[in-house]
Chains A and B, each alone.
Chain A
Amino acid sequence: MSTEPFLVLSALLFTIGAFGVLIRRNAIVVFMCVELMLNAANLAFVTFARHHGNLDGQIAAFFVMVVAAAEVVVGLAIIVTIFRTRRSASVDDASLLKY
């Protein structure tokens, strides 16, 4: 089987994630879309690992997953803190630095 379909799937998922980040208002759903993009990158890593016949890409994907878990923990703590002070989880309301 050729490498191409896996990479095209990865590109499609990345595109869908980017679209979601751009259109959704709820900060947590934006987070889910970021996770989609990270997973698309992971799929590309694993595909290239298979393509080159070594394990480095799989290890990179593993590291990305762990960093993503740390990122989710801190990000959600920030979102919950913003919700506590401003009573809203919408990214449009977090415009404190705008003016």
Chain B
Amino acid sequence: MSVVGLLFLLMGAMAVGSALLVVTTARLVHSALWLVVTLGALAGCYLLLGAEFVAWVQILIYVGAVVVLLLFALMLTRAPTGVQTGLTTGNRVVAAATAGVVGLVLVTVVVAGFGGARVSVDEESVGSATSMGDAIFRHWVLPFEVLSVLLLAALVGAIVLSRGRASSGEETP
């Protein structure tokens, strides 16, 4: 087995194991921390696929920003740090059946559609920051600009939503 295959096995096992722990752990904060491991392993997979820029963006945005935000939200909602009971809903069996069927369908479709497909992981990296920048600003400028407006809207929305009730009451009596 090649080095890439071994690394993929390692990263994949890490990602699946820590994702299972995110879903099943009884401590809420641990769930956020296991999410970091999953996202890091996925960033490793992106590197294996030659998507260097996407891997670094994954680390920056997800591990750096999203998980920190989630931890802040856990603190703001006074989530207990200890082991808790009653974290899951009662429909565990139905949920497992639904998820199992979804997984079965996805795996079947993927294997049926791309069974013999090969990727060459030997050639040099295609997703470097230079080539990504070229592609974005040559072919994807409009979506990129729309995205900046979306981010601004999300920012304004979050500020409006998280303002206290007292201050909004003054302005709209």
Q: Which residues of A contact B (CB under 8 A)?
A: 1-20, 22-26, 28-29, 31-33, 35-36, 39, 42-43, 46-47, 49-51, 53, 55-56, 58-59, 61-63, 65-74, 76-81, 83-84, 89, 92
Contact = CB atoms under 8 A, between A and B. Distances in A.
Is the contact region of chain B dominated by helix, strand, or loop, or is it mixed? helix
Contacts of A5: 8, 12
Given A2-B116, A28-B28, A49-B51, A89 B22 contact: no
Interface string B145-167: 00100110111011001100100
Contact of B2 (A1, A12, A35): A1
Contact of A81 (B19, B111, B153, B161): B161
Nearest to B111: A4
Contacts, number: 237
Interface in B113-132: 114-119, 121, 126-127, 131-132
Q: What bracket does the count of chain B residues touching chain A fall in?
A: 35 or more
B91 interface: yes
A46 B54 contact: yes
A53 B120 CA distance: 9
Is the contact region of chain A dominated by helix, strand, or loop, or is it mixed? helix
Contact of B31 (A32, A50, A63): A32
B23 A23 contact: yes
Given A22-B98, A23-B89, A46-B46, A36 B117 contact: no
